[in-house]
Amino acid sequence: MSALATVRPDDINVALLVHVLGAMVLVGSLLTAAVATIVGWRDEGDTLRRLSYKTLLFAALPAFILMYAGALWTYDKESLDALAEDPRWVEIGFMTADLGGLLLLIALILGGIGLWRSRSGGGRPLLRASGVIAALLVLVYVVTVWAMGGKPN
């Protein structure tokens, strides 16, 4: 046997890859949406705010689903449900994922209404709110990345 021990069994790698890939795309798309909103804050046109919303819809939402499915798959593969109590890092992960999913849904609803209203010249505040929620989610997921990487007890 090698002097170096494996951290986890190899059969968990695919599930963990799905989770991490989804999380990376999620954070990247949220950051893109937030930056587009911030840069386009005073812009008279709605191009950047529309980009922000469409990034949330077509990148962040599928990435969230992938991240969450990968998290549940990894949780099952590692048999964490057999523990008497979830480790703190798992609690933080699920808590921020659940809160983040709710906030993402709210951002999508606000942005969708804002996008619809922008066709008649309105909707700018709702599109901005959608981007601000994306910026808030970036901060929430930075805490989550710390928890997943540092695994506090």
Tell whether 16 is covered by a domain. no
Per-residue pLDDT for 138 more than 90? yes
Tell whether 26 is covered by a domain. yes
d(CA 50, CA 138): 19
Tell whether 4 is covered by a domain. no
Token digits of residue 52:
């922000």
Residue 67: the pLDDT is 96
Domain span at residue 133? 22-78+89-150
Token digits of residue 77:
């593969």
Task: Name the residue among 126, 127, 141, 122 with its Cα closest to residue 29.
Answer: 141
Residue 133: the pLDDT is 97
| CATH number, position 38 | 1.20.120
Phi-psi region of 152 (alpha: psi -120 to 50; beta: other; left: phi over 0): beta
Tell whether 11 is covered by a domain. no
Q: Residue 83 CA to chain centroid, in angstroms?
A: 26
3: pLDDT confidence band, cut at 50, 70 and 90?
low
Provide the number of structural domains found in the chain.
1
Give the pLDDT mean for 57-76: 96
Residue 143: the pLDDT is 86
Tell whether 84 is covered by a domain. no
Tell whether 14 is covered by a domain. no
pLDDT in tens, 70-109: 999 998 888 787 788 888 888 888 999 999 999 999 999 9
Tell whether 70 is covered by a domain. yes
Give the 3-state DSSP-derived string for 90-136, with helices as H, strands as E and coil as C: HHHHHHHHHHHHHHHHHHHHHHHHHHHHHCCCCCHHHHHHHHHHHHH
Crossing angle for the helix pair 47-55 and 124-150, nearest 10 degrees? Answer: 40
Per-residue pLDDT for 32 more than 90? yes
More confident of the two residues 82 and 3: 82
Tell whether 53 is covered by a domain. yes
18: pLDDT confidence band, cut at 50, 70 and 90?
very high
Residue 47: the pLDDT is 87
Query: For the whole model, what pTM was predicted?
Result: 0.88
Task: Name the residue among 141, 132, 115, 145 with its Cα closest to residue 33.
Answer: 132
User: Using CA of residue 149, residue 104, residue 57, residue 114, what is the dihedral sign?
Assistant: negative
